[in-house]
């Protein structure tokens, strides 16, 4: 439950960040508006010609009697439109990120620089065409997986009671996970984190991911809301990606201090020699002064492991005979 609240706070922090940076927010709206126009055109075309497509794809129902033919094809038309609407919600973020890769890349980098203690941001070092290729390839994989989940949940929706109560809730959480996966890809790709590693990182903190993505998925169900929330969602996902990568580095033994929950990334740990210089010499290090040990006691004399052998004694020569 704590991670759920932390994830939601990251979403709010991202929205507050773009609210303070109006220029970045304006640029972030452009890809969402382009994607919205494309999706609205596709849904309008589906509504206008969906019935003709269903009639063409069901020739076996041409000879059915009057009420059953209309009911059957009308039901399939409604199912087709609902499925298209569900897929548009699931894939909207992926398509928007693909179209707006340069916009959101710049936005994510500005967020990294703003919250970083030294004012720097990670860079992938890859050319733009290479970044676009990786982003498109990963987005296609995510869209295919999301489409499979969408078809499965849509089919489960026809189960009485469960399909109208539990399945919509599960659908929001599943959609939220995929949305977060797509949004964090902007920041994690600059850190050269591959898709398989990204999935491993996200699955290790599912509650945090659901706290960020589930409210966003529910908000995206409202028309036009996704366009206005996308810039802040990218900013919030960047902040959350910093925490996830910080925890990953600490688990690998980099010695970074753990961040406070919900406060974002931690400052990098000081090197050991810097800490020693700040805190002074350690006990028993012999650096308190010459001729002293811990707490001012005389130091112990070190005994060499291989002491030198004593010099040979001179042999006594016999006394001369008289």
Q: What span, in angstroms and rounded, lies between the C-alpha atoms of 109 and 24?
A: 11
Q: Any idea what DSSP says for residue 176?
A: H
Q: What is the pLDDT of residue 125?
A: 75
**What is the biggest distance separating any 2 CA atoms in the chain, rounded to whole angstroms?**
155
pLDDT tens-digit series, residues 277-298: 344 444 444 444 444 444 444 5
Whether residue 231 is predicted with pLDDT greater than 80 in this model: the reply is: yes
Whether residue 256 is predicted with pLDDT greater than 80 in this model: the reply is: no
- Tokens for 175, please give them: 């959609």
Higher pLDDT among residues 89 and 309, named by residue: 89
Whether residue 267 is predicted with pLDDT greater than 70 in this model: the reply is: no
Q: Which of 74-78, 139-143, 206-210 has the lowest mean pLDDT?
A: 139-143
pTM above 0.75, yes or no: no
In order, the DSSP letters of 141-171 are: HHHHHHHHHHHHHHHHTTSTTHHHHHHHHHH
Q: What span, in angstroms and rounded, lies between the C-alpha atoms of 294 and 298?
A: 8
User: Residues 137, 143, 145, CA angle at the centre, nearest 5°?
Assistant: 105
Whether residue 212 is predicted with pLDDT greater than 90 in this model: the reply is: yes
- Tokens for 253, please give them: 């033994």
CA 77 distance to own-chain centroid: 37
Neighbours of 11 (CB within 10 A): 26
Whether residue 204 is predicted with pLDDT greater than 50 in this model: the reply is: yes
Whether residue 254 is predicted with pLDDT greater than 70 in this model: the reply is: no
Whether residue 58 is predicted with pLDDT greater than 90 in this model: the reply is: no
């Amino acid at each position: 439950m704590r991670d759920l609240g932390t994830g939601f706070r990251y979403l709010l922090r991202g929205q507050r960040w773009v609210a303070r940076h109006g220029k970045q927010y304006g640029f972030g709206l452009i890809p969402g508006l382009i994607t919205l126009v494309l999706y609205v055109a596709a849904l309008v075309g589906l509504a206008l010609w969906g019935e003709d497509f269903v009639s063409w794809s069901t020739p076996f129902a041409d000879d059915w009697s009057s009420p059953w033919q209309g009911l059957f094809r009308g039901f399939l038309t409604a199912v087709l439109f609902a499925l298209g609407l569900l897929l548009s919600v699931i894939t909207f973020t992926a398509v928007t990120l693909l179209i707006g890769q340069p916009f959101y890349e710049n936005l994510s980098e500005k967020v990294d620089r703003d919250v970083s203690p030294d004012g720097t941001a990670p860079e992938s070092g890859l050319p733009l065409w290479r970044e676009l290729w990786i982003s498109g390839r990963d987005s296609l994989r995510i869209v295919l997986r999301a489409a499979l989940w969408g078809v499965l949940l849509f089919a489960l929706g026809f189960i009485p009671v469960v399909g109208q109560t539990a399945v919509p809730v599960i659908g929001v959480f599943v959609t939220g996970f995929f949305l977060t996966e797509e949004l964090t890809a902007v920041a994690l790709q600059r850190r050269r984190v591959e898709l398989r590693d990204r999935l491993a990182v996200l699955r290790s903190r599912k509650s945090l991911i659901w706290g960020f993505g589930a409210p966003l998925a529910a908000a995206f169900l409202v028309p036009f809301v996704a366009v206005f929330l996308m810039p802040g969602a990218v900013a919030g996902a960047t902040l959350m990606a910093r925490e996830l990568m910080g925890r990953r580095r600490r688990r690998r033994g980099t010695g970074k201090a753990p961040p406070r929950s919900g406060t974002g990334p931690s400052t990098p740990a000081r090197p050991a020699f810097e800490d020693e210089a700040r805190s002074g010499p350690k006990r028993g290090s012999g650096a308190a002064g010459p001729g002293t040990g811990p707490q001012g006691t005389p130091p112990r004399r070190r005994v060499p492991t291989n002491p030198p052998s004593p010099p040979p004694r001179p042999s006594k020569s016999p006394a001369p005979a008289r």
